[in-house]
Chain A
Amino acid sequence: MDVYWAVAVRSFRRFATYRIATLSGAFTNTVFGFIFCGVYLTLWEQRPGLGGYDVSDALTFVWLQQGLLMPIGIFGASTTVELGERVRSGEIAVDLYRPTHLMIWWMSVDAGRAAFQLIARGGLPLLVGALVFDLNFPSSVLQWLAVVVALTFGVLVSFGIRYLVALSGFWINDSRGLEQLALVLSLFFSGTILPLVVFPGWIGEVARATPWAATLQVPIDVWLGRNPGGIGSALVFQLGWLVVLVLAGRLATVLATRRVVIHGG
């Protein structure tokens, strides 16, 4: 247990050194945030109450989304990208020699990264947004707690997906293609290009059931208090996908390890 905590802390510290990149990134997020606000203000003005959101829900969605893109790893995260590269290059053998579980090791690295970026990248755009617009904040201690849980689950579900994609390099020659495909799916189904509540008809139903929905859309809805079916069922939904992904990850790790051993690694 201590090992994984140490790994996470060091990962946090490592990402905390990227000060200028973090600030410039937060600046870009803020610019995009303002543009999204302009678009959504126009849309919600024409269709008030669209998707069960009012205008300040929609605006809050923008700033939360922009802030959470990096920590949750919607565009992928350098940690799992590094893992993917190590699998492709064969350096993963070194990781497998350690008396630690591969998945939990990299989960700890990712958790350290996410924790730092939640504060640095998550906080700044939200702060700017709150100063300029009238945003919705959670109203009770219980809701804040639910937000913390939902965000944790969101990061872990995202990691689960990225871990599987990274490990695909054991079987697929150039896993970068799968990385790109996962990116498209992530952009589309997480609520990044448009809140999932706005997706019409059956497209919306399907989108909201995917694991990507659990990474970004669900935590934001917990914050807004807008989960259809309530916060409880939302957290259960996230947990459900988390369990599936963890099991899949463990299976993939076992199969990958066996493959390395058989190939004489």
Chain B
Amino acid sequence: MLVTMWIRSSLAYPASFVMMLVASALITGTDFVAVLLIFSHISSFGGFTLGEMALLYATASMALGVADLITGSVERLGQRIRTGEFDVWLIRPVPAFLQAIADNFALRRLGRPVQALLVLVIALRAVEIDWTVAKGILLVVSLISGATIFGTIFVLGAAFQFISIDSAELTNSFTYGGQFLTQYPLSIFGKDIVRAVTFVVPLAFVNYYPVLYVLGKPAPLGLPSWIGLLAPVVAVAMIAVASLAWRGGLRRYRSTGS
């Protein structure tokens, strides 16, 4: 209901909204333009062709775009705590988490998923894929699980703001930085980074391992070729971690008496 209110307010000035949407799509799309420009000089990047890079880019961008749309507002938590508005949320008979998500819901954030979808469609037509049922399902599921993983990172960043109010920008390194990282084939960053984004912060499961599976490419570090199929499992595990962190932060907040 809160979300509908924000959507209606965005659509109150339709021309302005469309302009913001287009601008948002253009701004987020510049990353792909950079990829296109890079490919005017080379034909393969980290073992990926342009079409395959486009697939990697589209999945990363779509995952972050949807996560940003749904859970992006949660990163304002620190501000809300500081202004005291968070205390008001706690009094209402709605879970604070839902209010945090609905807070300032920005429909214009659709810009990123829209341009990601465009690139995804083009990429799927440009790349030769040996389609199987498993691959098809995995691709669709990975968009959801990828968005979920980014979403949990947003929430973890917000939960950290219970401890350190001004740390909102730190999360950006993991969310926007994470998307920027996963646009590229992770193998170019070296074994240590691949290990870190597989076992520590599971960004590799957002799009890299699923895309490797769909393209039939081998996984790095001697990992099994079906590791992409674990993406939904990782997403569920991240949900568990993020909700523990949120609840823990919330409980701690109450006990210090704001």
Contact = CB atoms under 8 A, between A and B. Distances in A.
Contacts of A180: 19-20, 23-24, 26-27
Interface stretch (A42-50, A155-163, A227-235): A42-50
Interface stretch (B59-67, B123-131, B142-150, B163-171): B163-171
Interface residues of A, number: 32
Chain B binding surface, main DSSP class: helix
B237 interface: no
Contacts of A52: none
Nearest to A50: B41
Nearest to B24: A180
Interface stretch (A21-29, A81-89, A99-107): A21-29
B23 A181 contact: yes
A28 B38 CA distance: 24
Interface string B23-52: 110110011011001101110011000000
Interface stretch (B80-88, B132-140, B177-185): B177-185
A188 B16 contact: no
B177 A28 contact: yes
Contacts of B24: 180
A188 B33 contact: yes
Interface string B76-112: 0000000000000000000000000000000000000
B16 A176 contact: yes
A117 B237 CA distance: 40
A35 B190 CA distance: 11
A176 B26 CA distance: 15
Contact of A198 (B41, B46, B170, B184): B41
A32 B38 contact: no
Nearest to A204: B37
B2 interface: no
Please tell me the size bucket of the interface on B.
35 or more
Contacts of A134: none
A21 B38 contact: no
A174 B30 CA distance: 24
B38 A194 contact: yes
Contacts of A28: 169-170, 172-173, 176-177
Nearest to B164: A20
Residue among B13, B169, B181, B193 with the most chain A CB within 10 A?
Answer: B169
A50 B19 CA distance: 36
Nearest to B186: A38
Contact of B16 (A27, A32, A174, A184): A174
A193 interface: yes
Contacts of B177: 28, 31-32, 35
A21 B13 contact: no
A24 B169 contact: yes
Interface string A146-190: 000000000000000000000000000010110011011001100
A47 to B, nearest CB: 5
B253 interface: no
Nearest to B181: A35
B189 interface: yes
A25 B169 contact: yes
Which 9 A-B pairs have CB atoms at the shortest separation, nearest pair first? Answer: A180-B23, A24-B169, A31-B173, A177-B19, A193-B34, A20-B166, A200-B40, A38-B189, A194-B34
Given A39-B184, A180-B20, 16 more contacts: A20-B166, A20-B167, A28-B172, A28-B176, A31-B173, A32-B177, A43-B38, A174-B16, A176-B20, A177-B16, A177-B20, A180-B23, A193-B33, A193-B34, A194-B34, A203-B37
